[in-house]
Amino acid sequence: MAIVEVKVPQLSESVAEATLLQWKKRPGEAVAIDEILIEIETDKVVLEVPAPSAGVMAQLVKNDGDTVASDEVIAKIDTEGKAGAAPEEVKAVPPATTPAAAPATAPAASKGDVAMPAAAKLLADNQLSTAQVSGTGKDGRVTKGDVLGAIAAGAKAAAVAAPVAVPAAPAVAKPLPPVAPPVTMNLGDRPEQRVPMSRLRARVAERLLQSQATNAILTTFNEVNMAPVMEMRKKFQDKFEKEHGVKLGFMSFFVKAAVAALKRYPVINASVDG
């Protein structure tokens, strides 16, 4: 029996880990060379993992939804095996939902203590731990939505007040009023489904929140009398087109006005550093 390992492809330098989506082959099934075995999702792209060799899927080292790193072994292929034979070596990792009776508490605790990258950052920023937030993700993983819900429900204020008795009064003196979780909304007959965000969507949402926190988002309206500009454009547009070969548009006047304004008020082009 010759065993060939299936490994995670090389990830980009800015990506430290990825998530397995769903296996397309189960242990005991025949595998053709270059056949897609599973898709791996990172913060940026979704990668396909082809079979490095033909044979029979011998073992799934990692299950659906597991977090993996670059070059990590996720499965094994028996190049001399027969499909459907299911020998003793052909075995899959038991699913997390059906653990053994004796060590049932240990895997559940370890899975519940796992937080997705975006959720882990929020936990660190708000001085919370995974034990204080109930996870709704796969295998009880804590998602970013779980952390946001815990913060809105006042989990942080309760965590600070419980272990520290002396500064309890000043901490409770200025807390934000608790916000009712969105699940209490009356949706009537409309169905609602709460699903964990993919890595790509979570990264986009994180970047949008960072943009709102670091950039000034505003819109300013100013009324300008364009009648003189329109008259000047109408007067010189034919001459301008014959001389330069292009039509005289309003953008030329806008650019000239912007250049003059920047020369007179250079602080408009300033930016906040740090």
The average confidence (pLDDT) of the chain is 76
C-alpha 215/C-alpha 218 separation (Å) is 9
Residue pLDDT, tens place only, 137-154: 766 777 777 878 888 777
Tens digit of pLDDT for each residue in 26-52? Answer: 998 999 999 999 999 888 888 899 999
| Pairing assessment for the beta strands 36-41 and 46-50 based on DSSP bridges | antiparallel
CA angle 101, 103, 104 (to 5 degrees): 60
Q: How confident is the model at residue 260 (pLDDT cuts 50, 70, 90)?
A: very high
Q: 37 and 24 in contact (C-beta within 8 Å)?
A: yes
Quickly state the pLDDT bin for 85 (edges 50, 70, 90). Answer: low
**CATH (one of 4.10.320.10, 3.40.50.2300, 3.60.20.10, 3.40.1440.10) for 112-184+194-214:** 4.10.320.10
3-78 and 112-184+194-214: identical CATH topology: no
Grade residue 227 by pLDDT with cuts at 50, 70 and 90.
very high
Give pLDDT, residue 228.
Answer: 92
Q: Provide the residue ranges of all domains of the chain, joining segments of one domain with +.
A: 3-78, 112-184+194-214, 227-265
In words, the CATH class of domain 3-78 is: mainly beta
Task: Find the farthest-apart pair of alpha carbons in the chain and give their distance in angstroms, rounded.
Answer: 91
pLDDT above 50 for 7: yes
